[in-house]
């Protein structure tokens, strides 16, 4: 019996959220199914781009946020 994998299965595979059995099944399916392989490659590329975009903001942005928060006279709760 051939198992059909969903987009969610491919995403879980990319993020290493599959168990060993499912991982082997998906790897085998990628070897045999060109459409599935195309989907995998597309999602992998998206993940890589997202990973690049999750970088540390420039120090000037951090400084602006900190300065903005310091402009409020906040008092701790309970005092």
Interval 35-71: pLDDT, tens: 999 999 999 999 998 888 767 788 999 999 988 888 8
Rounded Cα gap, residues 29 and 2, in angstroms: 9
Length of the chain: 79
pLDDT score for 15: 96
pLDDT band at 76 (very low <50, low <70, confident <90, very high): low
Q: Which two tokens stand for residue 62?
A: 């951090």
Better pLDDT: 73 or 67:
67
Contacts of 40 (CB under 8 A, 6+ apart): 10, 13, 14, 30
Note whether 5 and 36 are within 8 A (CB).
Answer: yes
Rounded Cα gap, residues 56 and 45, in angstroms: 20
Per the confidence metrics, is the pTM higher than 0.95? Answer: no
Averaged pLDDT, 18-26: 96
């Amino acid at each position: 019996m051939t198992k059909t994998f969903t987009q969610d299965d491919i995403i879980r595979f990319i993020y290493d959220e599959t168990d060993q059995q499912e991982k082997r099944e998906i790897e085998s399916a990628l070897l045999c199914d060109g459409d599935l392989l195309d989907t995998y490659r597309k999602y992998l590329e998206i993940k890589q781009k997202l990973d690049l975009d999750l970088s540390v903001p420039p120090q000037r942005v951090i400084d602006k946020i900190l300065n903005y928060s310091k402009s409020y006279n906040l008092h701790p709760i309970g005092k």
